[in-house]
Amino acid sequence: MKRLVVLSGAGISAESGLKTFRDMDGLWEQYDVTEVASPEAWQRNPELVLRFYNERRKQLFECEPNAGHIGLAQLQDDYDVRIITQNVDDLHERAGSRNVLHLHGELKKARSTVDESLVYDLDNWELKPGDCCEKGSQLRPHVVWFGEPVTAIPDAVALVESADIMVVIGTSLNVYPAAGLLNYTRENVPVFLIDPNPPFQVSPEVHIIAMKAGAGVTELERILKQ
């Protein structure tokens, strides 16, 4: 089976009702990222940080995967599909994708602030001050904040280097190191980009499918079948 590697961003979850970051009315229009998604923010005002992620987690518990997530999961019938996502939602997994690598962590998990190997599944939306790990330290969102290392990058680079087909979907390619992953595709590997407003900084040989995720993945399937 050919290996089809996907790099997804917030745009693939937009049709599920989750806000993106940099679109109109995106999350970074509502919040100052330095106040809710950085280690300094956590030191300064942990309650605000917990509230920011609680709001997003509450929404996540109430939404479903969309046709984009489901279409990618269905591609597993014909391809060895590996998903690299910048998203912290679990919609790829809930749509049936079996190989998902989260570059920026997972919203439905929390981790210890004294031992980062202690990671816990959250079965409800609220993480509160006083919720502690087994060693008694406050739990934090298991999410990569601005200024923190993206430890999954080496694995993501290896996946992109192994791709026979590369698909980028729903990302503005604004945030590194994730945005740099495209540079690791091998020679002559076809790259498809699905986005209604494609980012301008992609090379000319990228096949642009200027559609939303749901319709775009259907169009991708049609092209791949040719």
Return residues touching ligand APR (CB under 6 A).
Answer: 9-12, 14-15, 20-23, 26, 86, 104, 170-172, 174-175, 195-197, 199, 212-213
- The residue annotated as part of the active site, out of 69, 92, 102, 104, is 104
Question: Are residues 109 and 120 in contact, defined by beta-carbon separation less than 8 angstroms?
Answer: yes
Judging by DSSP bridges, how do beta strands 119-121 and 139-143 pair with one another?
Answer: unpaired
115: annotated binding-site residue?
A: no
87 marked among binding-site residues: yes
Q: By three-state DSSP, how is residue 4 classified?
A: strand
Is 9 one of the annotated binding-site residues? yes
Closer residue to ligand APR, CB minimum distance, 188 or 203: 203
Q: Smaller CB distance to ligand APR: residue 81 or 133?
A: 81
**Does 20 show up as a binding residue in the annotation?**
yes
Nearest distance from C-beta of residue 167 to ligand APR, angstroms: 12
- Rounded to whole angstroms, what are the CA distances from 72 to 8, 22, 68, 172? 11, 24, 6, 19
Buried-exposed string 193-214: b where 16+ CB fall within 10 A, e elsewhere: bbbeebbeeeeeebebbebbbb
Whether 104 is a known active-site residue: answer yes
Shortest distance (Å) from residue 129 CB to ligand APR: 23
The CA angle 83-85-86, to the nearest 5 degrees, is: 170
Sign of the C-alpha dihedral computed for residues 185, 191, 192 and 198 taken in this order? positive
Closest separation in Å from C-beta 194 to ligand APR: 6
Q: Which is nearer to ligand APR, 151 or 174 (CB)?
A: 174
Shortest approach of ligand APR to residue 66 CB, angstroms? 8
Nearer to ligand APR, 34 or 124 (CB): 34
Closest to 116 measured CA to CA, from 155, 153, 90, 143: 143
Give the span between the Cα atoms of 19 and 23, in whole angstroms: 8
- Positions at the binding site for NAD(+): 9-28, 86-89, 170-172, 213
> What residues are annotated to the active site?
104
- Positions at the binding site: 9-28, 53, 56, 86-89, 170-172, 213
